[in-house]
């Protein structure tokens, strides 16, 4: 089926009490408009048009123009007027126009596909997707004639007492054949609001004897529109629940699913175990059989198979390969690559560095702008001194090197293969392979020094007391 998608996103969202456009408020870490666009993409449309209003530039800058085009609704005159604004951009459309709303982030692609299947199968001109609401007063009622044919959609404020008893309501999702878009001109202005409602397209089509249908296949949760921060919070909780339930069904273990936050673009392998208070954000990928302990945050990172991320660790824009162990209380800053079977321990910070296979940095170290080889031992308190006040410099540590505790490696510097650095050294020059480098001050022992110091202190104390008595 040839189709185009139009996403209505020009609403002011005044009830959000925010300077940010309503559709840019985030649900599980992504703007709600992006969630709708992602659902629209699964339909494989010819194009996706987003109708924007006076805050459109902010929407463009946030969403981008790679996968969507934008149409400006100069003044907010209702949903019917918004679709009219998109009509010139649809003049070459040859199929069905699918209309979605930018504030319905829980939209399920499978529901829309099922809806479009019915629209095509029944050879409708205009179709609307409906659902049964527990409390329908916030929605437009679906009005059917005696034969069950939909003839109009009536907003709650305009409904009579009988119509208010109807629970079948409008989801805001429409399928309109491209050759009847002129029916938009038959929508009249609502005198109370001075706006053109897209809901009126059904009544206009009925008057023209066009074939229209309403398909009650959606759920209230799925088509929940976001108008307030309370609704935003509720939608976030629902999306979070849906995401976690989907991963449970795919074989992921959660010790306390209610305390875990997972963004929609995250991927998790089977048999991975997620402990409480874990946040997996952005485009993070977790492999099979890994363990993520409590209070861990991972963002836009690739975590391999059999990896252990221990308590209170932060990983951002980094890669951790198979069977590695990171944490507890470790920090991988952007650009870090941790190799296979590497051990990164507590209070270790890594920034923009490559750590080779089986290397160990077990505790209390900073590794920044470094290239570290295989089987390297990095002792406690090691620092790569990468910044000279103007520029960053690289430290290179080759395979099998041993870096003693409390070492400062002043970049740029290279530690050769198999070299040893004595504890407490400050290294400012390259160390050849298989060498030992030390830079300590010679140790001097002054015997009896402490005893003399204590005697002197005691004498001074007695002198003070005598002066006080005098």
Binned at pLDDT 50, 70 and 90, residue 281 comes out as very high
| SS3 (DSSP) at 82 | helix
Question: How far from the centroid of its chain's Cα atoms is residue 104's Cα?
Answer: 17
Higher per-residue pLDDT: 66 or 302: 302
Kindly state the tokens that stand for 37. Answer: 């666009």
Query: 337-338 and 319-320 as β-strands: parallel, antiparallel, unpaired?
Result: parallel
Q: Summarize pLDDT for 410-444 with one digit per residue, the tens.
A: 999 999 999 999 999 999 999 999 999 999 888 88
Helix (H) or strand (E) holding 363: strand 360-368
* Range list of β-strands (E), 106-237: 126-132, 141-144, 150-154, 168-177, 212-216
- Cβ atoms of 337 and 319 within 8 Å: the answer is yes
pLDDT score, position 259: 96
Q: Using DSSP, state whether 232 is helix, strand or coil.
A: helix
Q: Mean per-residue pLDDT for 458-464? A: 84
pLDDT at residue number 328: 98
The secondary structure element, H or E, covering residue 255 is none
Q: For residue 324, is pLDDT > 90? A: yes
Task: Determine the pLDDT at residue 99.
Answer: 97
Average pLDDT over every residue of 78-105:
94
User: For residue 126, which of 63, 190, 188, 199 has the smallest C-alpha distance?
Assistant: 199
Question: How many Cα atoms are found within 13 Å in the side-chain-facing hemisphere of 119?
Answer: 26
Angle CA 377–381–383, to nearest 5: 85
Q: Exposure of 268 by Cβ count < 10 A (0-12 exposed, 13-18 middle, 19+ buried)?
A: buried
C-alpha to C-alpha distance for 129 and 223, rounded to whole angstroms: 10
Q: What is the structure's pLDDT at 12? A: 78
Q: What pLDDT was estimated at residue 170?
A: 95
**Rounded (10°) angle between helices 32-41 and 56-63:** 60
Q: Does residue 357 share a domain with residue 315?
A: yes
Tell me, yes or no, whether 37 and 137 share the same domain.
yes
Residue 391 lies in a domain: yes
Token pair for residue 384?
A: 């790569």
Residue 319 tokens read as: 């890669």
Verify whether residue 363 is a known catalytic residue.
yes
Q: What is the mean pLDDT of residues 353-360?
A: 98
Domain membership flag for residue 468: no
Residue-wise pLDDT for 218-265, tens only, equals: 899 999 989 899 999 999 999 999 999 999 999 999 999 999 999 999
Q: Are residues 154 and 273 in the same domain?
A: no
CATH number, position 296: 2.160.10.10
As a whole number, mean pLDDT of residues 282-286 equals 97
Q: What angle do CA 201, 182, 153 make, to 5 degrees?
A: 0
What does the alpha-carbon distance between residue 105 and residue 32 come to, in Å, rounded to a whole number? 5
- Tell me if 233 is assigned to some domain: no
* Same-domain check for residues 177 and 305: no
Do 297 and 190 share a structural domain?
Answer: no
Q: 167: domain range?
A: 3-216
Write out the DSSP string of 426-453: EE-S-B-TT-EE--PPPP---TTHHHHH
Determine which of 117-126, 184-193, 335-344, 364-373 has the lowest per-residue pLDDT on average: 184-193
Question: How many Å is the maximal CA-CA distance in the chain?
Answer: 117
Query: Highest mean pLDDT: which of 19-23, 130-134, 309-313?
Result: 309-313
User: Is 334 found in the same domain as 428?
Assistant: yes
Catalytic residue among 25, 156, 363, 393: 363
* Domain membership flag for residue 224: no
Q: Which residues, 6+ apart, have CB-to-CB distance to 402 below 8 Å? A: 376, 377, 379, 419, 420, 421
4-32 confidence digits (pLDDT tens)? 999 999 987 888 888 899 999 999 999 99
Q: Is the pLDDT of residue 469 over 80?
A: no
Specify the pLDDT at position 147: 86
Choose among 266, 314, 310, 318: nearest CA to 290. Answer: 310
- Write the CB contacts of 239 (distance below 8 Å, at least 6 apart in sequence): 27, 28, 35, 105, 106, 264
The reply to whether 269 and 412 lie within a common domain is yes
Tell me how far apart the alpha carbons of residues 419 and 179 are, in angstroms, rounded to a whole number.
77
- Nearest C-alpha neighbor of 203 from the set 218, 215, 214: 214
Please tell me the total number of residues recorded for the chain in this structure. Answer: 470
> Is 160 found in the same domain as 22?
yes
Residue 158 pLDDT > 90: no
pTM of the full structure: 0.88
pLDDT for the residue 193: 81
Q: Say if 442 falls within a structural domain.
A: no
In this structure, the answer to whether residues 338 and 270 fall within a common structural domain is: yes
Q: Average pLDDT of the chain?
A: 94
The residue whose two tokens read 């079977």 is 341
Here the CATH number for the domain that contains residue 79 is 3.90.550.10
Distance CA 436, CA 403 (A): 10
Q: What is the pLDDT of residues 379-391, one digit of tens each?
A: 999 999 999 999 9
Show the 3-state SS of 177-203: EHHHHHHHHHCCCECCCCECCHHHHHH
- 353 and 372 Cβ atoms separated by less than 8 Å: yes
Is 131:219 a contact under the CB 8 Å cutoff?
yes
Q: Work out how many domains the chain is built from and give that number.
A: 2
């Amino acid at each position: 089926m040839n189709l185009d998608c139009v996403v209505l996103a020009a609403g002011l969202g005044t009830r959000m009490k925010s300077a940010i456009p309503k559709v840019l408020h985030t649900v599980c870490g992504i703007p709600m408009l992006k969630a709708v666009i992602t659902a629209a993409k699964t339909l494989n449309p010819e194009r996706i048009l987003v109708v924007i209003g006076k805050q459109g530039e902010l929407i463009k800058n946030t969403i981008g123009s790679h996968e969507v085009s934008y149409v400006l609704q100069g003044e907010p005159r209702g949903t019917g007027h918004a679709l009219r604004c998109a009509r010139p951009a649809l003049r070459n459309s040859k199929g069905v126009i699918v209309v979605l709303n930018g504030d319905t982030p829980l939209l399920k692609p499978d529901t829309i596909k099922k809806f479009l299947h019915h629209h095509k199968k029944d050879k409708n001109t205009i179709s609307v997707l409906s659902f049964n609401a527990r409390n329908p007063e916030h929605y437009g009622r679906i009005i059917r004639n005696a034969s069950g044919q939909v003839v109009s959609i009536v907003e709650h404020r305009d409904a009579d007492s009988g119509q208010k008893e109807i629970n079948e309501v409008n989801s805001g999702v429409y399928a309109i054949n491209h050759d009847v878009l002129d029916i938009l001109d038959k929508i009249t202005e609502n005198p109370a609001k001075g706006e053109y409602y897209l809901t009126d397209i059904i009544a206009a089509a009925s008057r023209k004897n066009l074939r229209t249908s309403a398909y009650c296949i959606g759920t209230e949760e799925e088509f929940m529109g976001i108008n307030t921060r309370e609704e935003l919070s509720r939608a976030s909780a629902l999306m979070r629940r849906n995401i976690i339930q989907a991963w449970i069904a795919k074989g992921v273990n959660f010790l306390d699913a209610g305390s875990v936050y997972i963004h929609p673009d995250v991927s998790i392998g089977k048999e991975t175990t997620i402990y409480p208070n874990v946040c997996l954000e952005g485009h993070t990928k977790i492999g099979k059989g890994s363990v993520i302990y409590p209070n861990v945050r991972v963002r836009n990172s690739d975590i391999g198979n059999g990896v252990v991320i221990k308590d209170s660790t932060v990983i951002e824009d980094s890669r951790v390969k198979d069977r590695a162990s990171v944490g507890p209380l470790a920090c991988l800053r952007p650009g870090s690559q941790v190799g296979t079977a590497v051990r990164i321990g507590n209070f270790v910070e890594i920034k923009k560095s490559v750590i080779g296979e089986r290397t160990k940095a077990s505790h209390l170290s900073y590794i920044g702008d470094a290239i570290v080889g295989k089987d390297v031992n990095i002792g406690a308190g090691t620092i790569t001194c990468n910044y000279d006040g103007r520029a960053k410099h690289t430290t290179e540590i080759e395979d099998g090197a041993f870096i003693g505790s409390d070492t400062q490696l002043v970049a740029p510097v290279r530690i050769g293969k198999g070299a040893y650095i004595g504890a407490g050294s400050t290294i400012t020059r390259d160390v050849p392979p298989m060498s030992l480098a030390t830079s300590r001050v010679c140790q001097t022992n002054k015997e009896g020094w402490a005893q003399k110091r204590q005697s002197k202190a005691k004498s001074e104390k007695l002198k003070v007391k005598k002066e006080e008595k005098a």
